[in-house]
Amino acid sequence: MSHGRRCSRTACDRPAVTTLTYVYADQTAVVGPLATYAEPHSYDLCDAHGQRLSAPRGWEVLRLAPDPSTSSPSPDDLLALADAVREAGRPMVEATRAPHEAVPTGAGRETGRRGHLRMLTSE
């Protein structure tokens, strides 16, 4: 899988495989799997620069090993995501309420939905 990003080190044109993030509050340099998106406060590194990284005196280097099982979503993950998106986009139906539950006065009945907005009609 090629992300197209290059190592952040000057004069290095190798592909980035890890991301370095400095956690100043903990005086820790964290080297982990390549981040999904390039962030302004992190640095993408090639394998060689990621392995040779040293932190300032008094700082700790934390190396997070990539989890091979999470390198790419499985077909089941993608189907579950698609189902969740479809479910979230469906308008609420009155049948989801128990038959004995009354519609609160002034609440109306939901007749449509667009994103996080709902269209209500009074009864």
- Average of per-residue pLDDT values in the chain: 74
User: Among candidates 50, 53, 42, 41, which has minimal Cα distance to 17?
Assistant: 50
For residue 4, pLDDT beyond 90: no
Residue 1 has a pLDDT of 47
State yes or no: pLDDT of 120 exceeds 70: no
pLDDT, tens digit (0-9, with 9 covering 90-100), for 15-37? 999 999 998 888 999 999 998 88
The answer to whether residue 3 scores a pLDDT higher than 60 is no
Asked if 108 and 121 touch (Cβ cutoff 8 Å), the reply is yes
As a whole-number percent, the residues of the chain with pLDDT over 90 amount to 34
Cβ atoms 50, 17 nearer than 8 A? yes
Provide mean pLDDT across the span 58-85. 70
Q: What is the pLDDT of residue 51?
A: 92
Q: What is the mean pLDDT of residues 79-89?
A: 62
Q: What is the DSSP string of 33-46?
A: EPPSS--TTEEEE-
The residue type found at 58 is: G
* HSE-CB of 67 using CA atoms within 13 angstroms: 4
pLDDT single digits (tens) 28-70:
999 999 988 888 889 999 999 999 998 889 999 999 876 555 5
pLDDT bracket for residue 89 (50, 70, 90): low
